[in-house]
Amino acid sequence: MTIHSTSVDQSDRKVPYNLRQSGPTPVEMLISTRVRKSPYWHLSMEAGCWRATVYNRIYHPRGYVRPEDGGAMVEYDALVNHVTMWNVAVERQIQVIGPDAEAFVNYVITRDATRIEPMKGKYVILCNEKGGVLNDPILLRLSKNEFWFSLSDSDIMFWLQGVNVGCQFNVEINEIDVCPVQIQGPKSADLMADLIGDAVRELPSYGLMEGKVGGHDCIISQTGFSGEKGFEIYLRDATLHADDMWNAVLDAGKKHNLMVIAPAHHRRIAAGILSWGQDLDSETMPFQCNLGYQVPRKKTADYVGKVALERARELIVAGKPPFKSVLVGMTIQGKPIEEYAPDFWLISGPDGGDPIGYVTSPWYSPELKTNIAMGHVPWALRDLGNKLKVWLPDQYADVSGQPVDAEIVEMPFRPSVNPNAREIAKAEGRDAAY
């Protein structure tokens, strides 16, 4: 039986989320030339990848250990106890280069690009003129006049090129043949030191350095999508050298119990790291999804979305937010959720009545011994400690057809070894929501 809720108020959206609860719908993925195979695709297959999704119009590995062998939680164990490698070539690299690179980047991101030093990175957002988040990439600054946008799941290159048709900054904007892998886990620094030398151990959070892996030029960053200690290896001319770099990592990783795994969404949820297209999209304002700190109060330069975002902040302070829902963290009772959710599971108020919101990213936390999740709830119900009900599928529900208890809690759910940008901002007192 399927459920389709029409009672969740999404009247502030042009395209409401489809909240029909259809459950898993296994299909055979069509492998065609309309979707790109990354330079690491065949290597992921050799490593045992058995399922994939599509991300940025590239096939994206999403599982190596099959369910009958323990599934994603085996991969999680490798991440939190050893070291893992992820094929994340789907993070398309968009290069902005030229005399006006800094000015152009400063115009398309909300943060102040002039404060990013060469060989440093930052987590940033790009918004449209209405203040909706178009992408939340890691921005790498390689030199005075060269930046790379390491994209999340929206192809922002065409938008960047379109913006510059009207603005005419003196820059070139292109996707480049650079593909990253992530090296994540407590043994990641040891592995990286074996690959490129001990200097990598001193790399600060969001720091960059040059190095060779497998004999080929790479940019190394101290970043990741997990909350664990981690790095990314950005391989130049990746279509030519993918095998050499990948196999060099595998060889060096043997003594560190390296495992090739899928991106660990169970760990990124615990760290409060957002997934574009899942927790937010182009109709979500930063103030709705814990990204208010990305909207500066002191940036004098103009940028796309500035007027809308500053007006939204004024309305929020006045108690009249220009949106219906807000993203919160919550603990959820029920049986352990150890697989990707195929639907936006519905949320009701404490009385279990008509749905008022929806879960975006749920998973079980072995450390906290409970299910954790992000989800959208009405603005008025956003406070920590508020009680909710969540309508889990029967496989996770305590009683078939009945919702389970949930409670709004603070994110991140537990401290990160490698703090993300929001955690750093919070520690420095810069995380004001509005």
Residue 277 contacts residue 57 (beta carbons within 8 Å): no
In a domain, 248, yes or no: yes
The more confident residue out of 328 and 6 is 328
In a domain, 7, yes or no: no
Please tell me whether residues 137 and 264 are part of one structural domain.
no
pLDDT confidence bin for 431, thresholds 50/70/90: low
Say what the pLDDT of residue 203 is.
97
In a domain, 433, yes or no: no
Q: Which two tokens stand for residue 360?
A: 């975006």
What whole-number distance in Å separates Cα of residue 111 and Cα of residue 9?
A: 31
What number is the average pLDDT over the span 117-139?
98
In a domain, 182, yes or no: yes
Say what the pLDDT of residue 223 is.
95
Domain end, chosen from 217, 242, 269, is at 269
In a domain, 32, yes or no: no
What whole-number distance in Å separates Cα of residue 368 and Cα of residue 258?
A: 25
116 pLDDT above the threshold of 70: yes
Domain end, chosen from 124, 143, 175, is at 175
Mean pLDDT estimate for the chain: 95
147-198 tens-digit pLDDT: 999 999 999 999 999 999 999 999 999 999 999 999 999 999 999 999 999 9
- Counted residue by residue, the chain has a size of 434
Say what the pLDDT of residue 352 is.
92
What whole-number distance in Å separates Cα of residue 139 and Cα of residue 206?
A: 9
Domain end, chosen from 158, 175, 192, is at 175
Please tell me whether residues 293 and 401 are part of one structural domain.
yes
7 pLDDT above the threshold of 90: no
Say what the pLDDT of residue 353 is.
92
Please tell me whether residues 45 and 150 are part of one structural domain.
no
246 pLDDT above the threshold of 60: yes
What number is the average pLDDT over the span 328-348?
97
What number is the average pLDDT over the span 6-15?
90
35 in helix, strand or coil?
coil
Per DSSP, the residues of 100-144 read THHHHHHHHSSS-GGGPPTTEEEE--EE-TTS-EEE-PEEEEEET
Q: Which two tokens stand for residue 57?
A: 């119009």
> CATH number for the domain including 100?
3.30.70.1400
Please tell me whether residues 196 and 51 are part of one structural domain.
yes
433 pLDDT above the threshold of 80: no
Say what the pLDDT of residue 239 is.
98
Please tell me whether residues 295 and 391 are part of one structural domain.
yes
Please tell me whether residues 308 and 400 are part of one structural domain.
yes
| Percent share of the chain, pLDDT over 90 | 92
pLDDT confidence bin for 418, thresholds 50/70/90: confident
5 pLDDT above the threshold of 70: no
Please tell me whether residues 140 and 74 are part of one structural domain.
no
- For residue 102, the cross-strand partners are none
> CATH number for the domain including 414?
3.30.1360.120
Please tell me whether residues 130 and 244 are part of one structural domain.
no
425 pLDDT above the threshold of 90: no
What number is the average pLDDT over the span 195-209?
97
The total domain count for the chain is: 3
Which residues constitute the domain of residue 281?
Answer: 274-427
Please tell me whether residues 286 and 396 are part of one structural domain.
yes
What whole-number distance in Å separates Cα of residue 149 and Cα of residue 116?
A: 13
In a domain, 30, yes or no: no
2 pLDDT above the threshold of 60: no
The more confident residue out of 421 and 164 is 164
1 pLDDT above the threshold of 50: no
351-371 tens-digit pLDDT: 999 999 999 999 999 999 999
Please tell me whether residues 97 and 157 are part of one structural domain.
yes
Residue 321 contacts residue 312 (beta carbons within 8 Å): yes
Q: Which two tokens stand for residue 164?
A: 């510059």
What number is the average pLDDT over the span 332-351?
96
Q: Which range, of 94-108, 219-233, 288-302, 408-422, averages the lowest pLDDT?
A: 408-422
4 pLDDT above the threshold of 70: no
Place of tokens 């007006």: 311
pLDDT confidence bin for 419, thresholds 50/70/90: confident
In a domain, 25, yes or no: no
In a domain, 200, yes or no: yes
52 pLDDT above the threshold of 80: yes
Please tell me whether residues 251 and 121 are part of one structural domain.
no
Please tell me whether residues 237 and 129 are part of one structural domain.
no
CA-to-CA separations, 301 to 55, 116, 296, 434, in angstroms, rounded:
33, 15, 11, 19
